[in-house]
């Protein structure tokens, strides 16, 4: 419903500058800046002990980034991660740097009673998010290294 006397918006018209302004190269400038600075990627892989979480991460990034806690021999008991641990690697490919934060989680779903077994992992994710939000709300934002998680994957599926 229009009001009497209210100005009506006019259709935008294309304007062609008389000389080169330079905004056509903004995307190239942003790309160069991002490539120079590098990227950050945060990964958390969650699943039962021995399911292949470490193997999956190592395979995706074609590197030995996470030491497998699996058995070294068939008679050896499976080694387990006892607490949530974060490890950071800088992976470089063709001059592009990727700061990769990998969160190693203890296997969950390993016990007879698995009620609330995911609570420590959920708490960790919420704590990381809260820390990120606190840093964002400060007047002078420092670059907070461990930001929100980009991948949360439950490995309850058969590995490909």
Q: What is the pLDDT along the chain (160 residues), one digit of tens a residue?
A: 556 667 777 788 888 888 878 888 888 888 888 888 888 888 888 888 778 888 888 888 888 888 776 656 667 666 566 678 888 999 888 888 989 888 877 777 777 777 887 788 888 889 988 888 888 887 765 655 555 555 444 443 333 3
Of 95, 158, 74, 84, the closest CA to residue 122 belongs to: 84
Question: In DSSP terms, which residues pair with 46 in a beta bridge?
Answer: 154
pLDDT at residue 14, rounded to an integer: 84
pLDDT at residue 72, rounded to an integer: 60
Of 55, 65, 111, the closest CA to residue 85 belongs to: 65
pLDDT at residue 24, rounded to an integer: 81
**pTM (2 decimals)?**
0.62
Structure tokens at 94: 């063709």
CA 37 to chain centre: 17
The Cα–Cα gap between 146 and 160 comes to 29
pLDDT at residue 160, rounded to an integer: 33
pLDDT at residue 73, rounded to an integer: 65
pLDDT at residue 142, rounded to an integer: 60
What value does the CA radius of gyration of the chain take, rounded to a whole number of Å?
24
């Amino acid at each position: 419903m229009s009001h009497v006397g209210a100005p009506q918006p006019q259709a935008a018209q294309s304007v062609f500058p008389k000389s080169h302004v330079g905004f056509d190269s903004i995307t190239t400038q942003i790309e160069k800046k991002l490539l120079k600075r590098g990227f950050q990627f945060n990964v958390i892989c969650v699943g039962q002990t021995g399911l292949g979480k470490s193997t999956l991460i190592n395979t995706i990034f074609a590197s030995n980034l996470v030491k497998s806690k699996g058995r070294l021999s068939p008679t050896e008991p499976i080694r387990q991660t006892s607490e949530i641990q974060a490890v950071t690697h800088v992976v470089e490919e063709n001059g592009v740097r990727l700061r990769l934060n990998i969160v190693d989680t203890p296997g969950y779903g390993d016990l007879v009673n698995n009620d609330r077994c995911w609570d420590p992992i959920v708490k960790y994710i919420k704590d990381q998010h809260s820390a990120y939000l606190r840093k964002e709300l400060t007047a002078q934002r420092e670059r907070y290294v461990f930001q929100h998680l980009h991948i949360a994957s439950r490995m309850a599926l058969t590995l490909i």
